[in-house]
């Protein structure tokens, strides 16, 4: 392994990862000054730095996308798939930062370290999505997970918050340990850490039972981050405990990068040979079925809208894993498209709580009553986002499901496709509850009284992000070709070409 300094092209490729990390390191320094008068300006400065770093990262990624070469530096591969994921993460993070400005002001708890942690997590996710080397993968996993554990417990004045953070940390540590154990086993058997090299060593080790155990442990780590059943129990508690923007960010970005890493590790069914391939597919099938059934039925009986969204995010993991079951290039492309729309939908859906000024424990359907009429623009956005989450055409969410189901049917998994559509029928049931609360129920008298007494909600930034989400959802429904051909398709082509 040579330790040569990166060339200028490689530096440019590394910039998207370095910028958020640098900003994350700088931000805590700015917070040393505790003078109340300048505090306000410092806060604004912190957010500006964060947005600047994310913006710069985005610019570099966009610049990379225009080049025909796909740079790599040592174990990091900044290929099209990594660029797609990078943009995905940066956009999610930027939306979360904007929402958190409003949310933390509503909660009265603005601390700079939150933003710093968020940016560290962004860097970690980019590392996680840009490598096939298992050790670097683990490094990325820890770099993005540990800040998220802390972020969950951000509002430390609330006991449920610390509880959620602790829960996340313990379960996350177990999953990480499994992941590491899997790496050790695989390395011991094959002598390589690179998963793309590992599967090319066709023959004896691939059929070894110990090898299968190693792959299984690796899958536990991935599926934990995807929050697929049966590794999902942490999700609802953690999302409910987290501040709304952080919950949105976790539901989108963590799931997204884990899915991308899965796509990298298991690109198609033939990649792992005739013995292991069907076994892995069987695992995916089982996980997808369990996830769709358990998550959708559980979401149906929730009384907290935020908890419902947490279960809904688990169920979306089920659809994404269905794409892995099909495993065709078309299905993988569909998964990336699904992720992009999912970003818009979930950042929008979690952003709604901030946009409506709901703080603390106010996240039940009861708290949402009549808000759709009180804020007509947000109401319309909410309706679009929720119908898209359920997969009602002509919105973006429909096409994500459409592409995955189409490949499932084409590969002969008609019964899985039927299960999938039945699951989305059930999901319509709980998304309708959200809509019923927003539009079809009048607020109670107590709520009316409270609303007149409460100060005007300041949430213009959060509302902006929800609007962006809704616009993306609609755009995904009418200009899907741009997204699919422009980004997702190319990313998958690049990946499969690399193989």
The contact set with another protein (CB under 8 A) reads 330, 333-334, 337, 376-377, 380, 383, 387, 392-394, 398-399, 402-403, 405-407, 409-410, 414, 417-418, 421-422, 424-425, 428-429, 432, 436, 439-441, 480-481, 484
For residue 419, the minimal CB distance to another protein (Å) is 10
Q: Do 257 and 89 contact (CB within 8 A), yes or no?
A: yes
CB-nearer residue toward another protein: 109 or 439: 439
DSSP 28-82: HHHTT---HHHHHHHHHHHHHHHHHHHHHHHHHHHHHHHSSS--EETTEE--HHH
CB-nearer residue toward another protein: 60 or 405: 405
Longest dimension (CA), the chain: 72
CB-nearer residue toward another protein: 244 or 401: 401
CB-nearer residue toward another protein: 196 or 424: 424
For residue 478, the minimal CB distance to another protein (Å) is 9
Q: Do 83 and 494 contact (CB within 8 A), yes or no?
A: no
For residue 464, the minimal CB distance to another protein (Å) is 17
DSSP conformational letter for 455: P
For residue 288, the minimal CB distance to another protein (Å) is 16
CB-nearer residue toward another protein: 213 or 409: 409
CB-nearer residue toward another protein: 185 or 417: 417
What is the rounded distance in angstroms from the CA atom of residue 257 to the CA atom of residue 484?
18
The structure tokens 């009418």 sit at 478
For residue 68, the minimal CB distance to another protein (Å) is 24
End-to-end CA distance of the chain: 21
DSSP 467-493: HHHHHHHHHHHH-HHHHIIIIIHHHHH
CB-nearer residue toward another protein: 174 or 410: 410
DSSP 136-160: HHHHHHHHHHHHHHHHHT--TTSHH
For residue 400, the minimal CB distance to another protein (Å) is 10
CB-nearer residue toward another protein: 277 or 330: 330
CB-nearer residue toward another protein: 126 or 332: 332
117: Cα separation from own chain's centroid: 16
The Cα-based distances of 417 to 355, 379, 469 in angstroms read: 36, 32, 27
For residue 284, the minimal CB distance to another protein (Å) is 19
For residue 410, the minimal CB distance to another protein (Å) is 5
DSSP conformational letter for 173: H
Please list, residue by residue across 109-122, b when 16 or more beta carbons sit within 10 angstroms of its beta carbon and e when fewer do.
bbebbbbbbbbbbb
CB-nearer residue toward another protein: 55 or 393: 393
CB-nearer residue toward another protein: 311 or 399: 399
**Burial zone of 293 (CB within 10 Å; 0-12 exposed, 13-18 middle, 19+ buried):** middle
Q: Is 434 helix (H, G, I), strand (E, B) or coil?
A: helix
Dihedral sign computed on CA atoms, order 268, 270, 273, 275: positive
For residue 326, the minimal CB distance to another protein (Å) is 11
For residue 328, the minimal CB distance to another protein (Å) is 10
For residue 252, the minimal CB distance to another protein (Å) is 22
The structure tokens 């089920």 sit at 318
- Tokens, residue 183: 């790496």
Any residues with CB less than 8 A from the CB of 478 and at least 6 apart, and which?
394
């Amino acid at each position: 392994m040579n330790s040569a300094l990166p060339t200028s092209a490689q530096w440019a490729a590394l910039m998207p990862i370095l910028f958020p990390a640098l900003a994350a390191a700088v931000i805590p320094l700015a917070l040393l000054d505790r003078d109340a008068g300048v505090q306000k300006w410092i806060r604004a400065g912190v957010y500006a730095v964060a947005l600047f770093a994310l913006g710069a990262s985005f610019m570099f990624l966009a610049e990379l996308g225009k080049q025909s070469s796909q740079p790599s530096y040592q174990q990091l591969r900044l290929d099209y798939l990594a660029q797609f994921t990078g943009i995905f993460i940066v956009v999610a993070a930027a939306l979360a930062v904007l929402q958190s400005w409003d949310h933390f002001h509503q909660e009265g708890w603005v601390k700079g370290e939150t933003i710093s942690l968020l940016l560290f997590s962004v860097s970690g996710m980019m590392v996680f999505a840009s490598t096939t080397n298992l050790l670097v993968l683990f490094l990325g996993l820890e770099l993005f997970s540990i800040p998220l554990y802390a972020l969950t417990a951000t509002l430390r004045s609330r006991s449920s918050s610390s509880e959620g953070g602790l829960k996340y940390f313990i379960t996350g540590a177990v999953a990480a340990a499994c992941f590491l154990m899997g790496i050790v086993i695989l390395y011991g058997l094959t002598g390589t850490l690179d998963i793309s090299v590992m599967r090319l060593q066709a023959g004896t080790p691939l059929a070894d039972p110990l090898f299968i155990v190693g792959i299984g442990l690796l899958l536990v780590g991935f599926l934990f981050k995807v929050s697929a059943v049966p590794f999902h129990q942490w999700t609802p508690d953690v999302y409910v405990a987290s501040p709304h923007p952080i919950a949105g960010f976790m539901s989108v970005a963590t799931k997204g990068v884990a899915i991308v890493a899965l796509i990298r590790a298991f690109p198609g069914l033939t990649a792992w040979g005739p013995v292991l391939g069907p076994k892995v597919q069987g695992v995916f099938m089982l996980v997808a079925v369990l996830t769709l059934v358990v998550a959708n039925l559980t979401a149906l009986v929730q009384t907290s809208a935020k908890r419902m969204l947490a279960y809904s995010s688990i169920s979306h993991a089920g659809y994404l894993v269905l794409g892995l079951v099909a495993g065709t290039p078309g299905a993988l492309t569909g998964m990336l498209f699904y992720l992009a729309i999912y970003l818009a939908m979930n950042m929008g859906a979690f952003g709604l709580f901030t946009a409506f000024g709901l703080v603390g424990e106010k996240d039940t359907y009861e708290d949402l009553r009549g808000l759709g009429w009180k804020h007509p623009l947000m109401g319309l956005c909410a309706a679009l986002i929720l119908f898209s989450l359920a997969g009602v055409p002509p919105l973006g969410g429909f096409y994500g499901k459409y592409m995955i189901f189409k490949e499932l049917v084409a590969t002969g998994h008609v019964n899985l496709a039927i299960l999938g559509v039945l699951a989305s029928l059930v999901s319509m049931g709980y998304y309708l509850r959200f809509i019923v609360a927003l539009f079809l129920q009048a607020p109670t008298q107590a709520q009316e009284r409270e609303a007149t007494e409460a100060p005007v909600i300041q949430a213009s930034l959060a509302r902006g992000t929800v609007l962006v989400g809704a616009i993306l959802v609609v755009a995904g429904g009418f200009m899907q070709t741009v997204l699919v051909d422009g980004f997702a398709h190319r990313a998958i082509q690049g990946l499969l070409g690399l193989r």
